[in-house]
Chain A
Amino acid sequence: MTIRVLICDDSSMARKQMARALPKNWKADVTFAFDGRHGLERLKETGSELLFLDLNMPEMDGYQVLKAIREQDLPVLTIVVSGDIQPEARERVRKLGAIDFIKKPTDTDQVARILRDYGFLQPDEFETGKARPGPTPPEPTPVSLPDYLQEISNVAMGRSSDLLARLLKVFVKQPIPRVEMITTSELSMAISAADTHTRYSAVCQGFLGAGIAGEAMLLFADANFDEMAKLLMYEEGTTENLQVEVLMDMSSILFGAFINGISDQLDIKLRLGHPTVLGQHRKVGDLLDYHRSKQEKLLCIEIGYELENTNISCDMLILLTEDSVPFLKQRLKYLVD
């Protein structure tokens, strides 16, 4: 008997990875959806029995899809596939009715184990450790570099959020990473969250390895500092010291976990330098303006972190130099094919 399966993820790379992770001999009819709303439509059209659902998606996110499935009483079993590894995320999707949780990047053995545990796999179909052969997924869109970077950023972001959540005992909302090619002069404009009135402080930290070079940057609005210092339970020190302290601690955690996450997925070694305070209490334009001596193209990944039930948000930028792009493309080719 063939089972109808729907894979719902906004990233074409993630859809591809998920389809590949399905057991080789499994008799399944796989269809795809590219965001939450599309996923719900396809679900009703195809009458899929099993749904692999991403959480961070535009239009409707995974949480909203789970709610809709429950409200409309759709006869589908949902397995969440996400880079968000905060224990709280797992708890929330279970409460919303997901039967299990698979952490990205998808592990073939784990998928097979879950499918067997829930009885989707017959014993004769059970064969782990082998990828599904090429022709099965009817995935039309090829994976582009921005899409691929968005997906690995998504997974890396999940790791930094997990650390932050553990340290601060809060839930970190997972945004969708924005990836775009910009020029250095557009840098301040590229920061979508930044407005001209707010004053910011910033830390940056260079990283390097395997032909890839760039900088990680954390922008923190001044208005956030007091609340953040309270969350971190800092008591001693003057206000000025505390603010640098907050910036350094946040960047150590977010950058460290994020860069490690990227390194692991690309299977390369990236080394972070010592962080530098770029400036304090300045407008975003001024913070970045001063460093803009030569024109260059940059690959910019922007992630806006938000801490739930607080007013705290901060902007993380990962900027990659133009000459890193060929190396990234090479890795992409290696990982996707």
Chain B
Amino acid sequence: MTIDADDANSFHWLVDMLESVEVGLVVIGLDFRVQIWNGFMEHHSGLSAGKIQGRSLFDAFPDIPRAWLTRKVDSVAMLNTRAFTSWEQRPYLFRFRNTRPITGTEEFMYQNLTISPLAGIDGKVEKVCLMVYDVTDIATSKQALEKANAQLEEINRNGRG
């Protein structure tokens, strides 16, 4: 992506886009204080960007696994490489309600997470960006499929016996 740095207008719509994208975007410093919190995060958490800016992520969300996230962020900063986590290892980082509170089968939103290093001009990693993807549909259908498979196996076994 290329943007004209002098063009205030393009900066405006760029921010607008980040605000409205269907992905949670959080920028934190290496001290875990929140610097950027986009629209997706505001809507799902009920916390406005103004309320959470400058606060530690762990204070705002006490149920976030501290040791786990710290280890991930540290290795991203040290190795300057992205890290991915899947709903299969941890269903969610932020406990958000299912986006479909009525027809959805699960209570909460399953999430995939990408942790991406953000380097300053000198190339040193100063912050990281957390990208939170809603994968509730994928997770529930995969689980339903596995359940169906297990039932089939069970029926097979009983049929033979």
A residues bordering B, Cβ < 8 Å?
163, 166-167, 205, 235-237, 241, 244-245, 248-249, 251-253, 256-257, 260, 272, 274-277
Is B84 engaged at the interface, CB distance under 8 Å to the other chain? yes
B78 touches A166 (CB 8 A): yes
A256 in contact with B88 given A167-B75, A274-B112 (CB within 8 Å): no
Contact of B88 among A236, A244, A260 (CB under 8 A): A244
A275 touches B86 (CB 8 A): yes
A277 touches B88 (CB 8 A): yes
Contact of B82 among A237, A256, A277 (CB under 8 A): A256
B68 touches A248 (CB 8 A): no
Q: How far is the CB of B93 from chain A (nearest CB, A)?
A: 13
Query: How far, in whole Å, are A257 and B76 apart by their CA atoms in the complex?
Result: 12
B88 touches A252 (CB 8 A): no
B83 touches A249 (CB 8 A): yes
Query: How far, in whole Å, are A276 and B139 apart by their CA atoms in the complex?
Result: 12
Further contacts, 6 of them, CB under 8 A, given A236-B65, A256-B82, A274-B133: A244-B89, A252-B84, A256-B81, A260-B81, A272-B82, A274-B114
A253 touches B81 (CB 8 A): yes
B81 touches A277 (CB 8 A): no
Is B53 engaged at the interface, CB distance under 8 Å to the other chain? no
Nearest-CB residue, chain A, relative to B113: A274
A253 touches B79 (CB 8 A): yes
A248 touches B79 (CB 8 A): no
Is B35 engaged at the interface, CB distance under 8 Å to the other chain? no
Query: How far, in whole Å, are A239 and B81 apart by their CA atoms in the complex?
Result: 26
What are the 3 A-B residue pairs with the smallest beta carbon separation, nearest first? A244-B89, A256-B81, A252-B83
Is B90 engaged at the interface, CB distance under 8 Å to the other chain? yes
User: Could you give, for residues 21-54 of chain B, a 1 whenever the CB lies within 8 Å of some chain A CB and a 0 otherwise?
Assistant: 0000000000000000000000000000000000
Query: How far, in whole Å, are A248 and B82 apart by their CA atoms in the complex?
Result: 11
Q: How far is the CB of A171 from chain B (nearest CB, A)?
A: 17
Q: Which residues of A contact B79 (CB under 8 A)?
A: 163, 166-167, 253, 257
Q: How far is the CB of B67 from chain A (nearest CB, A)?
A: 7
Q: How far is the CB of B137 from chain A (nearest CB, A)?
A: 15
Is B85 engaged at the interface, CB distance under 8 Å to the other chain? yes
Contact of A244 among B65, B78, B82, B86 (CB under 8 A): B86
Query: How far, in whole Å, are A166 and B80 apart by their CA atoms in the complex?
Result: 12
Q: Which residues of A contact B114 (CB under 8 A)?
A: 274
Q: Which residues of A contact B86 (CB under 8 A)?
A: 244, 248, 274-277
Query: How far, in whole Å, are A267 and B90 apart by their CA atoms in the complex?
Result: 36
Q: How far is the CB of A68 from chain B (nearest CB, A)?
A: 36
Query: How far, in whole Å, are A186 and B75 apart by their CA atoms in the complex?
Result: 36
Contact of A275 among B67, B75, B84, B90 (CB under 8 A): B84
Query: How far, in whole Å, are A253 and B115 apart by their CA atoms in the complex?
Result: 12
Q: How far is the CB of B78 from chain A (nearest CB, A)?
A: 7
B85 touches A248 (CB 8 A): yes
Query: How far, in whole Å, are A167 and B76 apart by their CA atoms in the complex?
Result: 10
Of B82, B84, B112, B133, which is in contact with the most chain A CB atoms at under 10 Å from its CB? B84
